[in-house]
Amino acid sequence: MAVGIMEVLLVNAKDLGDSDFFGDMDPYVLIQYKGQELKSSVARGRGGNPVWNEKFSFRAEYPGSGDNYKIILKILDKDTFSSDDFIGQATIYVEDLLVLGAENGTAEMHPVKYRVIRQDNTYRGEIQVGVTFTRKVANYWLNTFSLINLSTL
């Protein structure tokens, strides 16, 4: 089993429309992977074309429990006086990336544009995201091998 860090680079989004009657929407993204969830900053005053350029790290393993190797990006509009509005979501399937990273130590998907889909399954703009997986070697094994090598001298 390969265990490592999956890094998500949230770049920007385009053509998300506007869900606010007054002023521009203030979008942010909830990034979910296998029970883990992280939140981007709120792109205040950016309207339907926000820019984030933020990185997020998730623990990932391959093969792991289940076969649900996907990142879900939920885009919401931050509202002050009411609940936040759901704008749409995008899904990134990362199983192939994890397989490559498990074999080679690292694998990267350069930033690509993904369609943002509303609850009614209609298209609402796009979001640009990159993903990297880096396999980690357990410290236990490093320490064990170091002790074995030192004791044989």
Report the CATH number that the domain containing residue 78 is assigned in CATH: 2.60.40.150
**What does the angle CA 66 – CA 54 – CA 29 come to, to the nearest 5 degrees?**
60
List, for residues 108-144, the tens digit of each pLDDT value: 999 999 999 999 999 999 999 999 999 997 644 444 4
Chain centroid offset of residue 29 CA? 9
The string of pLDDT tens digits covering residues 81-101 is 889 999 999 999 999 999 999
Paired tokens of 107: 């694998």
Q: Which residues span the domain enclosing 63?
A: 2-151
Q: Is the pLDDT at 54 greater than 70, yes or no?
A: yes
Report how far residue 67's alpha carbon sits from residue 95's, in angstroms, rounded to the nearest whole number: 8
Average confidence (pLDDT) over 49-67:
90
- Which runs of consecutive H residues, i.e. helices, occur in the chain? 95-104, 139-151
Residue 25 burial by Cβ neighbours in a 10 Å radius (0-12, 13-18, 19+): buried
Q: What is the pLDDT of residues 8-18, one digit of tens each?
A: 999 999 999 86
Residue 37 is given by DSSP the state: E
- Whether 151 has a pLDDT exceeding 50, the answer reads no
Helices (H), 46-88: none
Q: Do the beta carbons of residue 16 and residue 75 sit within 8 Å? A: yes
Number of domains in the chain: 1
